Amino acid sequence: MRNLLAFDLGASNGRAILGRFDGEKITMQELHRFENNYIEMNGVFYWDTPYLYNQLKQGLLAFKQGGFGQLDAFGIDTWGVDYGLLDKNGHLAGVPRSYRLGVQADIDAVKEKVSAETLYARTGIDTNLTFNTLYQLYRRLREEDAALAVADTMLFTPDLLGYFLTGSKGTEYTIATTSGMYNPTTKDWDWETIEELGLPKKIFTKIEKTGTIRGCLRKELCEEIGINAAPFVAVGGHDTASAVAAIPGKGSFAFCSSGTWSLFGAEMDKPVLTQEAASRNFSNEGTIQGTFRPLNNIIGMWIIQECRRDWIKAGVEMSWDEIVVAAREAEALRSIINPDDSRFYAGGNMVQKIQDFCKETNQPVPETVGQIARTVYESLALKYRNALEGLEKMKGQRIDSLNIVGGPINNKFLNQLIADSLDREVVTGPVEGAAIGNLLTQAMALGDIKDLDQLRQVVRNSEAVEYWTPNHTADWENAYQKLLTFLK
């Protein structure tokens, strides 16, 4: 029986999840959960990295106190694009920034040096995403940022936290592909763009294959916690890569890793670097097996999460289940929004932003919690259809089903809306997609699983899935045509 520990960090919370693997099935147990929120200081958004590191230590302590025996391995997956800088002594050079800081001016500044067409041909990453690591770094260069000036190494968030636990540096493949600085043709950093922008080349470490065993827990940490020196496996560092690895789908299927963001795509052997893919805002990110998953970065639960914060501030305390009930009771397809309109990227006043969008587009303005929530859920389902059609054009074949993983699949009302919008069967599960992908990649690194097919068979052995049959009506078709006008 293997004892594996997955640290799965999202942009709003994190968990330490124990996986006990017997060679055929894996059982999971949450040992520790914690919140994760970016912090605004003097107009800049940061991540509280010392706090996150301490929460990982608490996860290790929970394992020790649970009396499970020896820890065989651990891995870390997080959201993409964000990073920390280390100085020549290996210490943090400044506080790691949050991608929420990105603005259009960051994109414009890069495109003055390198055109959007050139960037996409080199990296296959959507050039319209303000949070891309490339834009973040160039902004700091333009601002003559002191931390960047003294930086000796850049590590993405999962690699950074792994370094603090082990003392070993490295860059895992899937997390590197989220940056807008990886060239899928040369299978290395996009050195041409890095040089043309004048970014410091020395901060980039060698890109390693997913599943590389990179050091083990530091001696001092082991003594402090009373735990063995477990090896650190560089799993699919991007949580979407880990989640997609755990999708039990067969045949021609698309995937959606659902959370604060909805990462919607399909697996392919080669990147799609055409202008058609660029025009549809597809990003070619990496899979744990070293191939690619062209996907759309769609704003997911972020909008409704921010609405709930607005309602709480206004004194309206409602659980997620109560919000879903209110949405179910509201009128169907009354108003829709484009979830990826730039106004929805930043937090704050989300209810008002939704109402303003509807007013500007001459639609009924949603007022109640149910009307607003239904507007968000239906709009997301319609945006999924647009992404699915783009994938079908890129693959040159029909996609028969959509497999969704992540916590939001507990919203059964939304699952049915998605099936109705797509007119495709929807399969949901597992809930803990990123965590189980993280855990089983560790097992693969230890030699207990031979390949991705066997990994997915273990998922099918271990996790139940649900199926949603579509009920596509003319009202959905009319609403989709309306969304297309917004996208234009």
Tokens of residue 449, six digits: 């699983």
Separation of alpha carbons 343 and 261, rounded Å: 15
Record the tokens describing residue 359, joined without a space. 């007013």
Q: Pick from 254, 220, 214, 263: which is nearest to 235 by CA?
A: 214
Q: How many CB atoms lie within 10 A of CB 225?
A: 16
Distance CA 87, CA 150 (A): 6
Query: Is the backbone peptide bond immediately before 430 cis, with ω within 30 degrees of 0?
Result: yes
The answer to whether 123 and 133 have CB atoms below 8 angstroms apart is: no
Residues annotated catalytic, as ranges? 239
d(CA 396, CA 249): 19
Q: Token digits for 191?
A: 């050195």
Which residues are paired to 258 by β-bridges? 262
- The answer to whether 468 and 419 have CB atoms below 8 angstroms apart is yes
Determine contact, residues 417/304, Cβ cutoff 8 Å: no
Phi, psi dihedrals of residue 228, rounded to the nearest 5°: -75, 165
Looking at residue 96, its amino acid is: P
* Distance in angstroms (rounded) separating the CA atoms of residues 468 and 402: 10
Length of the chain: 488
Distance from C-alpha of 20 to C-alpha of 298, rounded to nearest angstrom:
33
Tokens of 325: 């009930």
Give the Cα separation of 116 and 126 in Å (integer): 9
Strand partners, 110: none
Tokens of 392: 């079908």
For residue 231, the number of C-alpha atoms closer than 13 Å in the C-beta half-sphere is: 14
Buried b or exposed e, range 153-171, using 16+ CB within 10 angstroms = bbbbbbbbbbbbbbbebbb
| CA nearest neighbour of 461 among 5, 21, 3, 119 | 21
Give the single-character DSSP code of 220.
H
Three-class SS of residue 326? Answer: helix
